[in-house]
Structure 1
Amino acid sequence: MSIDVHQHLWTPSFLDALRRRSAPPRLDGWTLLLDGEPPYEVDPDDHDLAVRASRAAGLDLALVSLSSPLGIEHLPPDEAWPLIDAYHAGAAELPAPFRAWAAAPVTDIDPARLSHTLDQGFAGLQLPATALRDAAAFAVAAPLLDVLAERGLPLFMHPGPAAVPSGSPAWWAAVVPYAQQMHASWYAFQAVGRPRHPDLKICFALLAGLAPLHSERATNRGAPGRGRVDPGAFVETSSYGSRAIDAVIRELGIDVVVNGSDQPYAEAPSLDFGDAARHAIGHANAIRLLQARSHHRPSPSPEPSPSPSPSRTTSQQLRTSQPYSETQPYSETQPHTTTRVHPHTPSRKEPQS
């Protein structure tokens, strides 16, 4: 059994909200219309709950997120909020093994509204990489990121809208601008995001566009951090395979790599690295990513019982509407102490938090 931190599932309330729109992003029946992209025929089965539940039958937990390439987070507030509210309403009602990332427009920063959404059991917040590419963007989003850091909940960085040149093949957006966006957001976070938010946990989709593999060039050009790995900056594996995952593990170690599929657009990679590595990537690392801080557990009893240790946290606890707690404060201020692990000779020790 494993955890998938990256799926998309459009519920009826969200589909209805897209169909009510007269301008992109919108749905005309099952035809998706976006600015700057050709019409895309959506497969109804991809967003049929029964079909998707059968595909997720082998998972303990599947985290659903808003499709940021639609550009919803960048819309004016009066257009963005109805779509995001419809997404939240449907996502909050999804049955096990599904749970969801919250969403928020970057045109109307509302930390109180985010706090209310997170209280409903959402796993953390997803934002598009196009919204966090430089110091000014991180300054705008800072109140949202402060809410996450205070609760110990993660930010999920996902590709945003992408301009597709005329005549480009169908795979162009996923391979070129998406990877470029993730590459830029990885280094923007290192340069300005992490200093501003030392306790924030973050997970980058699609192995951060393989940005970690450029660390040698970065340090050779003056970037700080040689030999250090941020234990609170995770990467997920969607649309990559064993060669890329192997290379990223060699650079970052195994403890910050988590499983993601990008269903229904791709399948989860095969993790043929041995049982210990499979457990780390598919389960244990995601548990550590998703744990909330104990002092933000909603409706505490007058005399709460001691929390289990993080290593005993289960996917079942993470699926509940109340985020599970961790026992120790989370800090990114210390160097990563876990030895880098070659995926074909994985350590038998449980990853350290």
Structure 2
Amino acid sequence: MPTDVHQHIWPPAFVDLLRARTTPPYLDGWTLHLTGEPPYPVDPADHDVAARTRLAAADGLDLALVSLSSPLGIEYLPPAEAAPLLAAFHDGALALPAPFGVWAAACLSAPEPDPDALARELRRGCVGLQLPATALLDAAGWTHCAPLLDVLTHHDRPLFIHPGAAPPTPGAPPWWPALVPYLHQMHASWFAFRAFGRARHPRLRVCFAALAGLAPLHGERLAARGGGRGEVDFDAFYETSSYGTRAVDALVRAVGIDVVVTGSDRPYASPVIPDLGADAAVHALRTANPARLLHGRTAADGRRLEGSTP
């Protein structure tokens, strides 16, 4: 089943709620206003369901997973503001036609997140949970989100870590948020997962957007600084959005091909199939590896021993 694990579509009711807001995040017509980024002109076709369905078919996909775009910052709005936006997203996304599936989202601004709300969305059909990397940058973040991650483990569903909101950077060029704070967040969340997350959640499957900001390539420096190289964690995956052959090849050399999955970040980037020299590699990235991310390894696939470290 060829799969893209990383896309975004805004359902109509969700768009209407963004337009009704007067503080970020909000839409003025089709111009998106965020706290830390310049106004962004949105192409209406990017969120036209019929057009996106045709595009997914043209990409040869059997499954395209859509999620709330965490840079919007909705997860950190006050609960009374976040709730209707999250409901509109979940309701609209779960109503999308094939081949679309949905990552759930959660409000993180309350003193404690609501595990029951997540369990409800999983029962309704969400494949797992997306969290912003900004929620998982340190031990405190992993502790705060632990009730949600316990729900994922109980239901045998994966976690998708996506860049969160970017801080304001006056005078920065338009590409700055995607290249600097987004990748810093992914980089830090990967190291925080190694240091704090995996020990607390040994059976959790997790996928890092944007190749985890290329954090695994720092393994030699980690070892030199006393962090150890560790074993490859076959339940930690890396999706490829915005990267091509050179970056994917480098990551494969660091962690192996079995944990790299195809993601595009449509509509913000187009899919790229890296040239890794064999049709089997494309099958692994598009089909075999996403299936393990979503459904786990079979009993015969015992490449990661229980208790091994990332």
Q: Is 1:212 aligned with 2:186?
A: no
- Aligned-residue sequence identity (percent) comes to 61
Query: How far has the Cα of 1:243 moved from its partner?
Result: 0.3
Check whether the contact 1:164–1:172 (CA below 8 A) recurs between aligned residues. no
Q: 1:52 to 1:228 in 2, by over 3 A?
A: same
5 Å-filtered alignment, 1:25-44, equals: 25-44=25-44
Runs of 4+ off more than 6 Å: none
Secondary structure of the residue that 1:100 maps to in structure 2? strand
CA distance in 1, matches of 2:3, 2:36: 34
Q: Is 1:284 aligned with 2:258?
A: no
Query: Normalized against structure 1, the TM-score is what?
Result: 0.83
CA distance in 1, matches of 2:306, 2:15: 39
What code does the residue aligned with 1:265 have? Y
Number of aligned residues: 304
- More deviation, 207-216/157-166: 157-166
Q: Which has the higher helix share?
A: 2
Query: How far has the Cα of 1:37 moved from its partner?
Result: 2.4
Q: Is 1:262 aligned with 2:236?
A: no
Gaps of 5+ in 1: 294-308, 312-326, 337-353
Query: How far has the Cα of 1:167 moved from its partner?
Result: 2.1
What is the CA deviation profile of residues 94-126 of structure 1, one whole-angstrom value per residue up to 9, with x for unaligned ones?
A: 000001100001123000111011001101000
Q: Is 1:133 aligned with 2:107?
A: no
Q: Match of 1:64? A: 66
Q: Is 1:13 aligned with 2:13?
A: yes
What is the CA deviation profile of residues 166-198 of structure 1, one whole-angstrom value per residue up to 9, with x for unaligned ones?
A: 222211111111111000000000000001100
CA distance in 2, matches of 1:211, 1:107: 27
Check whether the contact 1:232–1:332 (CA below 8 A) recurs between aligned residues. no
5 Å-filtered alignment, 1:225-304, equals: 226-273=229-276, 274-291=278-295
Q: Is 1:88 aligned with 2:90?
A: yes
Check whether the contact 1:151–1:292 (CA below 8 A) recurs between aligned residues. no
CA distance in 1, matches of 2:137, 2:37: 22
Query: How far has the Cα of 1:271 moved from its partner?
Result: 2.5
Task: Pick one of 116, 121, 125 that aligns with 1:112.
Answer: 116
Query: How far has the Cα of 1:69 moved from its partner?
Result: 0.2
Secondary structure of the residue that 2:63 maps to in structure 1? strand
Gaps of 5+ in 2: none
Q: Is 1:334 aligned with 2:308?
A: yes
Q: 1:74 to 1:331 in 2, by over 3 A?
A: farther
What code does the residue aligned with 2:248 have? I
What code does the residue aligned with 1:46 have? D
Q: Match of 2:80? A: 78
What code does the residue aligned with 2:15 have? L
Q: Match of 1:151? A: 155
Check whether the contact 1:199–1:331 (CA below 8 A) recurs between aligned residues. no
Check whether the contact 1:179–1:209 (CA below 8 A) recurs between aligned residues. yes
Query: How far has the Cα of 1:25 moved from its partner?
Result: 0.5
What code does the residue aligned with 1:110 have? D
Question: Rg larger in 1 or in 2?
Answer: 1
Q: 1:190 to 1:227 in 2, by over 3 A?
A: closer
Check whether the contact 2:186–2:212 (CA below 8 A) recurs between aligned residues. yes
Secondary structure of the residue that 2:62 maps to in structure 1? strand
Secondary structure of the residue that 2:65 maps to in structure 1? strand
Query: How far has the Cα of 1:270 moved from its partner?
Result: 2.1
Secondary structure of the residue that 2:263 maps to in structure 1? coil
Q: Match of 1:351? A: none
What code does the residue aligned with 1:277 have? A
Secondary structure of the residue that 1:215 maps to in structure 2? helix
